[in-house]
Amino acid sequence: MTGAPPPPLLRDKDHGAPSAFTPESLLREAQRQKGAECVTVPEICLLDPDGDIVRRLCAQGRARRHAGWVCYHTEMWVFDLEGYQIGVVGCAVGASFAVLVAEEMFASGCRLLISITSSGQITSQGAPPFFIVIDRAWRDEGTSYHYLPPSDWCAAPHGLLQRLHGAFDTGPRVLTGATWTTDAPFRETETAIAAARARGILAVEMEAAALYAFATARGRDVICLAHVTNQMGTIEGDFEKGDANGTADALLLLLQVITRLR
């Protein structure tokens, strides 16, 4: 007597096979439809799921729209950070959306992608806000399983982590550790939280496992950071990010990462 078949998420996957639908073909047709020129994006790109960085840069007049970015779902903005040209997309929240944009970024000329996402504290490491360099992420989402075979964790590119060692001696507080990537933020039950704590997980977010699976499968340079801003609304006065909605610290951290990795 055989057991029940695996769920559809784990069936019919050939992780080594090429995709019939590619970011290059989508971008080609989007350029044709929109009459846009083929313009590469900056080699360094940023995912800003909360959108706070994009909003601040635009309000300050520091960002310009990238005319050659033809993704149907987002806008890319370009800004200068101490001589580095950065392409940033805001509000790409969740694993599938983040990886869709990441695929298109790398197909458009990106060489290094950094994600800075807000997250909820799981294991207490002091009062938020602070940051985590995510060294591995628990795969409690769906996107990563389309890129890599089933496993518990997706890890950051080892070489990038090594180069970031000692990069954060000044500036905002930065830890290195594990997070839990979920597709369902309003289903973080006490049972799931306790299990995450038992695994040594520091925070919960919505993108890292999928982005690291994409990075591993495609051989791309991706590093994910969690901005721990809250205790999941369990206290009053939660979700405070700090100065300018945390963007001042986030941009300083971004510069520290880029300086080491580029």
The pLDDT of residue 2 is 67
The pLDDT of residue 244 is 72
The pLDDT of residue 245 is 81
- In angstroms, the Cα distances linking 90 to 31, 50, 94, 177, 188 are 21, 7, 12, 24, 24
Q: In terms of DSSP H, where are the helices of 123-230?
A: 158-164, 190-198, 208-218
The pLDDT of residue 172 is 94
List 223's β-bridge partners, or say none: 114
CA atoms of 105 and 37, how far apart (whole Å): 16
The 3-state DSSP composition of the chain as helix, strand, coil percent (nearest 5) reads 35, 25, 40
Low-confidence ranges of the chain (pLDDT < 70): 1-2, 232-239
If one counts the domains in the chain, the total is 1
* Domain span holding position 137: 42-261
Tokens of 28: 């080609």
Contact predicate 203/122, CB 8 Å: yes
Q: Distance of alpha carbon 102 from its chain centroid, rounded?
A: 9
Say if 54 falls within a structural domain: yes
The pLDDT of residue 200 is 98
Say if 23 falls within a structural domain: no
Say if 31 falls within a structural domain: no
The pLDDT of residue 53 is 97
Say if 33 falls within a structural domain: no
Answer yes or no: pTM beyond 0.85: yes
Give me the CATH number covering residue 138: 3.40.50.1580
Say if 13 falls within a structural domain: no
The pLDDT of residue 238 is 55
Say if 194 falls within a structural domain: yes
The pLDDT of residue 118 is 93
Residue entry with tokens 């504290």: 121
The pLDDT of residue 243 is 73
The angle formed by the CA atoms of residues 73, 232 and 201, to the nearest 5 degrees, is 90
The pLDDT of residue 33 is 95
Residue 170: how many CB atoms within 10 A of its CB?
Answer: 7
The pLDDT of residue 232 is 65
